[in-house]
Chain A
Amino acid sequence: MSDADLIDETGEEIATGTLPLDAWHRARGARMVEFAGYHMPIQYEGIMAEHLWTRQSAGLFDVSHMGQLLFRTDDGGDLNGALEALLPGDIAGLGANRQRYSLLLTENGGILDDLMVTRLPAENPFDTDGLYMVVNGATKIDDISYFLEHLADHVMINHLEEQALLALQGPKAVDALARLVPGVTGLVFMTCGGFEWDGKPLWISRSGYTGEDGFEISVGAEHVEALAEALCAQAEVKPIGLGARDSLRLEAGLPLYGHDLDEETTPVMADLGFALSKRRREEANFMGAARILLEREQGPAVKRVGLLVEGKQPVREGAAVLDSDGSEVGKVTSGGFAPTVGAPIAMAYVPAALAAPGTTIQLSQRGKVHQATVTAMPFVPHRYVRAGAK
């Protein structure tokens, strides 16, 4: 592989793409929608039931639309430094089999994407050393272009277009997956490793996007249907669509790129300060560092917060946040009915003066005013299995 075969520019908008599990979803009765340029399942039996099933048992999500990337150097060149020039995280300090949340930033500190980056161990299914990264599906082509433009020339990028990605999430995910791949019980939150199932290589991390314990499994596209079938044959597991994925991540307080994060928001505004590693803040040499560090010092003008909405009517993306005079001072960026909370919840950007938990604010949607209270996130406690807590 080489830089050149990464991206032919064919990704630039053609017909809606088909993912490896397309026929499998349809055969299972999924309602398909267009998302991130692909046909994807929005729901099977219903969003509410799928959401609650994931919280109590285990749900299988097809997230093969996401971009899986490998970064390496051939000549012993500095891979960590090259990535650190762009990302605000401590890449050099990332040990083998460790995963970290990070951000792709503009020079002005805006967020181009959020991502997971992993240090590959010597033995792994990709037969390379270096870093493995998962980026958002809707942004992957732009991300690759950005890396090609800004990353030092000695770094090679490989877009793993032949890899599918599954997420198995929920308190019983470990029971179901361990029956197929016993070794996964050795993983804890944000660690990963190479495994085998039925002779096929898998790359598995203990992580996800629901707030529950669970795993993300990278598998060759030619094997993904057999694996999905084997997982759904476990009594704990049902396939879950994008609809419940969205309501689960909202309850978990996890932002969605393109909605709660974009080029106009910085990590400080988005309350993602944990992604700015201490050493990197001190070195102040990542993309957008000048603005981000100043904002961190002085406090952001607006901040992403969680909202509990009074009543039963959902307040959704696009609704206005009003100050006490009725002037618009912010926006709801995600919102909906939260099945586990049993009430409508939302994420919004509000002025710093209104960002403290307990603050009551007003939201305006389609001519109607709703009361809401700023609340700490997550809305539903995370249940990650962390090191030392096993």
Chain B
Amino acid sequence: MSRYFTEDHEWVDVDGDIGTVGISEYAQSQLGDIVFVEVPDEGKDVTKGDEAAVVESVKAASDVYSPVSGTVIEGNSDLADNPALVNEDPEGDGWFFKLTLSDASELEGLMDETAYAAFVAKL
């Protein structure tokens, strides 16, 4: 399984043609206390770079963009009752949604963990 990151601080884990999407540790630290998450419904088609989910901290609302195109197969239902899971474990249990990738070649434009760490270090 490989993990890829976007410059907007989303990550996607890819296992075969299934991707799991979330926001990075850096993103959650910048957002602060997360009080609401809206994840896409099963069956929704999402396009790389489009808004796919909403995350709200005490301070502000932010859009989460899908790192890849595909069809949503599951939203993380735990986040409805426990949005703080995104603060506690953003790159694990705080995932947002899973999708089937429609174009695996889109991954080529994303960063791997090392490249993303270097990207964040410069912010």
Residue of A nearest to B35 (CB): A337
A337 to B36, Cβ gap below 8 A?
yes
Residues of B within 8 A of A51 (CB): 58
B36 to A243, Cβ gap below 8 A?
no
A337-B61 CB under 8 A given contacts A43-B32, A313-B38? no
Q: When chains A and B are docked, how far (Å) is the Cα of A366 from the Cα of B56?
A: 13
B58 to A316, Cβ gap below 8 A?
no
Q: How large is the interface on A (under 10, 10 to 19, 20 to 34, 35 or more residues)?
A: 10 to 19
A247-B56 CB under 8 A given contacts A46-B32, A313-B38, A337-B36? no
- State the main secondary structure of chain A at its contact with B: mixed
Q: When chains A and B are docked, how far (Å) is the Cα of A243 from the Cα of B35?
A: 14
Query: Smallest Cβ distance from A248 to chain B, in angstroms?
Result: 11
A47 CB within 8 Å of chain B: yes
Query: Smallest Cβ distance from B55 to chain A, in angstroms?
Result: 11
B33 CB within 8 Å of chain A: yes
A314 to B33, Cβ gap below 8 A?
no
A314 to B35, Cβ gap below 8 A?
yes
Q: Could you say which of A49, A247, A312 contacts B36, with CB atoms under 8 Å apart?
A: A312
A312 to B58, Cβ gap below 8 A?
no
* B11-27 to A contact mask, C-beta < 8 Å, 1/0: 00000000000000000
B59 CB within 8 Å of chain A: yes
Query: Smallest Cβ distance from A110 to chain B, in angstroms?
Result: 29
B32 to A314, Cβ gap below 8 A?
no
A313 to B59, Cβ gap below 8 A?
no
Interface residues of B in 25-47 (CB under 8 A from A): 32-33, 35-36, 38
Residue of A nearest to B59 (CB): A243
* A306-347 to B contact mask, C-beta < 8 Å, 1/0: 000000111010000000000000000000110100001000
Q: Could you say which of A312, A314, A339 contacts B61, with CB atoms under 8 Å apart?
A: A314
A47-B36 CB under 8 A given contacts A314-B56, A337-B58? no
Residues of A within 8 A of B57 (CB): 47
Q: When chains A and B are docked, how far (Å) is the Cα of A158 from the Cα of B83?
A: 49
Q: Could you say which of A47, A312, A336, A366 contacts B32, with CB atoms under 8 Å apart?
A: A47
A293 CB within 8 Å of chain B: no
Q: Could you pull out 16 A-B pairs where Cβ atoms are within 8 angstroms?
A: A42-B59, A46-B32, A47-B59, A48-B33, A48-B58, A51-B58, A247-B58, A312-B36, A312-B80, A312-B83, A313-B54, A316-B61, A336-B58, A339-B58, A344-B36, A366-B61
Beyond A48-B32, A48-B58, A247-B58, 18 additional pairs, beta carbon < 8 A = A43-B32, A46-B32, A47-B32, A47-B58, A47-B59, A49-B33, A243-B32, A243-B58, A312-B36, A313-B36, A313-B38, A313-B56, A314-B35, A314-B61, A336-B59, A337-B35, A339-B58, A366-B61
